[in-house]
């Protein structure tokens, strides 16, 4: 018997104590306010992962290329200086050999004239 009273008690508890409230103003829009302006704002494209990744890749490649270029340029300068020093040393050695050979030829000519 008590089980039969439970649904009626629950229904009585779930009913609102006061009647639903009526709003004085309804939320309606008039037809002129529904019209939008003809000039819409341009849509802005977000920078996505693809464009951001592509920009990062190009920036990294450019920086790495610039660093490699200046490293190779510096190595070229150093090797060019070493090569120039070796050329001057070879030129001095050839000059010394030329002077030595010239002095030997003069001595041989002088020796042959004595005989």
DSSP string over the chain: -HHHHHHHHHHHHHS-SSPPPPPSS-----HHHHPPPSSPPPPPPP--HHHHHHHHHHHHHHHHHHHHHHHHHHHHHHHHHHHHHHHHHHHHHHHHHHHHHHHHHHHHHHHHHH-
Give the span between the Cα atoms of 110 and 102, in whole angstroms: 12
Q: Which residues, given as ranges, of the chain have pLDDT below 50? A: none
Longest CA–CA span in the chain (Å) reads 161
In this predicted model, what pLDDT tens digit does every residue of 49-77 receive, in sequence order? 777 888 999 999 999 999 999 999 999 99
Distant-in-sequence, close-in-space partners of 4: CB < 8 Å, separation ≥ 6 = none
pTM of this prediction? Answer: 0.45
| pLDDT reported for residue 33 | 55
Give the span between the Cα atoms of 19 and 34, in whole angstroms: 33
């Amino acid at each position: 018997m008590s089980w039969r009273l439970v649904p009626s008690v629950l229904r009585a508890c779930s009913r609102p104590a006061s009647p639903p409230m009526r709003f004085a103003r309804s939320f309606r829009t008039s037809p002129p306010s529904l019209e939008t302006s003809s000039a819409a704002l341009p849509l802005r494209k977000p920078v996505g992962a693809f464009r951001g990744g592509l920009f990062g890749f190009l920036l990294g490649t450019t920086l790495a290329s610039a660093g490699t270029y200046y490293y190779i340029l510096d190595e070229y300068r150093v090797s060019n200086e070493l090569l120039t020093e070796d050329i001057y040393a070879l030129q001095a050695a050839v000059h010394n050999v030329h002077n030595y050979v010239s002095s030997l030829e003069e001595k041989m000519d002088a020796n042959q004239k004595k005989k």
